[in-house]
């Protein structure tokens, strides 16, 4: 009986969505910490919004302070016009204040935007120190806007890179189950995070696995294969949990092994210093950030293999992009990776320590046929994580929340 009622309710929800929501323009409010577009970086968020905007009449993004855009105006009228993202009705509203006051900016600016544009739903990218979620909770209480919390990964899981990540993981254990109460649903992007939240007491009925690893198949298939100049490539934001220092240490034991690093961040200086200390400065090249996915993929494909050595991740998307380009990949078991890589079939797992990483790199360097076999099999991720389909699913998930009744806790 309960199953029949559940199916009946689902059919009613689908009918309402297909016949009412799709026929009327909808507006989305996003609470995000991603400021990359306002920093003129054409990265993952840019590509996501390029496709996501097709499903909405308007998208407003409230984000933290960006020095090049925000001003110190206490009135909040810090820009005469919101900054649109490339391609259409997507508007950014960076805070004029520091992160400590971000919840108040979300409440203030969000209230004004909702009153002016009447958004249908809000989505909130949540992570420590949880200023987005706190601000969204205040905003939802004031305006009654339905919203989803998005938890892309648990900081410090499965392994913390430093004391901050250990503290963040402990705080998440208590904060996240409490914060879910006011949201219509929690979006996670892989099965690992879903299992963690369930273990912390979040009801399974409140959690939806909606992947965020959007791959542009046409773009990735079109990246030409450049001449090989390196043995290993690495790409990502250079922060402690990415494990780049260990990659450098592993390559030290491989005579003449060459490493290309694409990306930037606070760990760049220490990693450059490590390369010098190990007398590897001529074997490790730091390119910094590259402006487009095409440029980044073209760079990492100049190596024989791609290595991802993170201690914790939600994805990472770059592993899937490298696989989509046909690169053999060595990766730690974090984020979505255990759901994607079949060890020895379309990639290799590493424990993440220097001796094991060295052994896996040596294995692939010594076996051209294995590299080709792994790389060819890896291309199948393009079908599984097609950008157009996954972003349509994401939009449908959010639009459905605007009419769905709140789930029971």
pLDDT, position 69: 58
| pLDDT at site 73 | 29
The predicted pLDDT at position 206 comes to 94
Q: Distance (Å, rounded) from C-alpha 179 to C-alpha 173?
A: 11
pLDDT for position 1: 43
pLDDT tens for each residue of 264-301 = 999 999 999 999 999 999 999 999 999 888 999 999 99
- Print the domain residue range for 170: 2-214+387-401
Number of domains present in the structure of the chain: 2
Contacts of 407 (CB under 8 A, 6+ apart): 184, 185, 203, 205, 206
Q: In this structure, is residue 408 part of a structural domain?
A: no
Q: Is the pLDDT reported for residue 351 higher than 70?
A: yes
pLDDT at position 404:
64
- Residue 11 within any structural domain of the chain: yes
Q: Mean per-residue pLDDT for 142-170? A: 90
* Confidence at 402, pLDDT banded by 50, 70, 90: confident
- 117: pLDDT strictly greater than 50: yes
- Is there a domain that residue 250 lies in? yes
Same domain, residue pair 257 and 135: no
- Tell me: do 116 and 241 sit in the same domain: no
- Residue 5: per-residue pLDDT: 39
State the CATH number of the domain containing residue 347: 3.40.50.2000
Summarize the confidence of residues 121-145 as an average pLDDT. 95
Read off the pLDDT of residues 68-93 as tens digits, 9 standing for 90 and up: 655 332 223 333 344 444 456 899 99
For the segment 231-253, the average pLDDT, to the nearest whole number, is: 96
Is the link from the previous residue into 316 a cis peptide, with omega within 30 of 0? yes
Residue 406 lies in a domain: no
Q: Does position 7 have pLDDT exceeding 60, yes or no?
A: no
CB atoms within 10 A of CB 331: 27
Q: Does residue 394 sit in the same domain as residue 379?
A: no
Mean pLDDT value across residues 133-144: 96
Q: Are residues 140 and 261 in the same domain?
A: no
Residues 144 and 27 in one domain: yes
Kindly state whether residues 171 and 231 are assigned to the same domain: no
Report pTM: 0.80
Residue from 374, 397, 408, 409 nearest 13 by CA: 397
User: In this structure, are 145 and 23 located in the same domain?
Assistant: yes
99 and 121 housed in the same domain = yes
In a domain, residue 103? The reply is yes
Note whether 55 and 186 are same-domain residues. yes
Specify if 119 maps to a domain: yes
Q: How confident is the model at residue 229 (pLDDT cuts 50, 70, 90)?
A: very high
Residues 6+ apart with CB under 8 A from 193: 151, 152, 153, 154, 314
In this structure, is residue 267 part of a structural domain? yes
Question: Looking at per-residue confidence, does 115 or 21 come out higher?
Answer: 115
- Does residue 134 sit in the same domain as residue 172? yes
- Percent of the chain exceeding pLDDT 70 equals 88
Q: Quick check: 342 pLDDT over 50?
A: yes
Mean pLDDT computed over 144-161: 90
Based on the fold, state whether residues 64 and 199 are members of the same structural domain: yes
Would 342 be classed as within a structural domain? yes
Distance CA 248, CA 258 (A): 10
Residues 148 and 279 in one domain: no
Q: How confident is the model at residue 19 (pLDDT cuts 50, 70, 90)?
A: very low
Residue 322 clears pLDDT 50, i.e. is over it = yes
The 10s digit of each residue's pLDDT in 167-196 is 989 999 999 999 988 999 999 998 999 999
Residues above pLDDT 90, as percent of the chain: 67
């Amino acid at each position: 009986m309960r199953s029949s009622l559940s199916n009946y309710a689902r059919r009613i929800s689908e009918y309402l969505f297909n016949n009412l929501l799709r026929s009327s323009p909808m507006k989305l409010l996003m609470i995000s910490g991603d400021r990359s577009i306002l920093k003129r970086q054409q990265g993952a968020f840019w590509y996501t919004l390029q496709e996501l905007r097709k499903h909405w009449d308007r998208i407003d993004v409230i984000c933290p302070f960006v020095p090049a855009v925000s001003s110190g105006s206490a009135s909040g009228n810090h820009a005469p016009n919101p900054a649109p993202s490339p391609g259409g009705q997507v508007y950014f509203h960076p805070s004029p204040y520091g992160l400590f006051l971000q919840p108040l900016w979300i409440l203030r600016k969000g209230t004004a935007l909702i009153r002016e544009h009447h958004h249908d739903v809000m989505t909130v990218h949540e992570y420590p120190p949880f200023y987005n979620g706190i601000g969204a909770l205040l905003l939802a209480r004031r305006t009654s806007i339905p919203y989803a919390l998005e938890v892309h990964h648990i900081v410090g899981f499965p392994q913390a890179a430093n004391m901050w990540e250990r503290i963040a993981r402990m705080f998440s254990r208590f904060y996240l189950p409490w914060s879910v109460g006011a949201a219509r649903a929690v979006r996670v992007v892989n099965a690992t995070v879903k299992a963690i939240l369930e273990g912390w007491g979040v009801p399974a009925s409140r959690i939806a696995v909606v992947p965020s690893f959007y791959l542009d198949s046409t773009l990735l298939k079109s990246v030409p294969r450049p001449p090989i100049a390196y043995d290993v490539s690495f790409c990502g934001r250079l922060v402690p949990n990415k494990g780049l220092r260990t990659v450098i240490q592993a390559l030290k034991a491989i005579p003449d092994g060459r490493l290309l690093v694409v990306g930037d961040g606070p760990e760049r200086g220490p990693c450059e210093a490590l390369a010098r200390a190990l007398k590897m400065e001529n074997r490790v090249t730091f390119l910094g950030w590259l402006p487009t996915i095409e440029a980044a993929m073209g760079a990492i494909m100049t190596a024989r293999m791609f290595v991802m050595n993170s201690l914790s991740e939600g994805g990472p998307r770059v592993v899937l992009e490298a696989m989509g380009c046909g690169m053999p990949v060595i990766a730690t078991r974090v984020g979505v990776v255990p759901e994607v890589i079949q060890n020895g079939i379309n990639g290799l797992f590493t424990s993440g320590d220097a001796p094991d990483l060295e052994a896996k790199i040596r294995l692939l360097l010594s076996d051209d046929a294995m590299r080709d076999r792994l790389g060819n099999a890896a291309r199948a991720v393009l079908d599984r994580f097609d950008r157009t389909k996954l972003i349509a699913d994401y939009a449908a998930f959010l639009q459905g929340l605007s009419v769905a009744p709140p789930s029971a806790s």
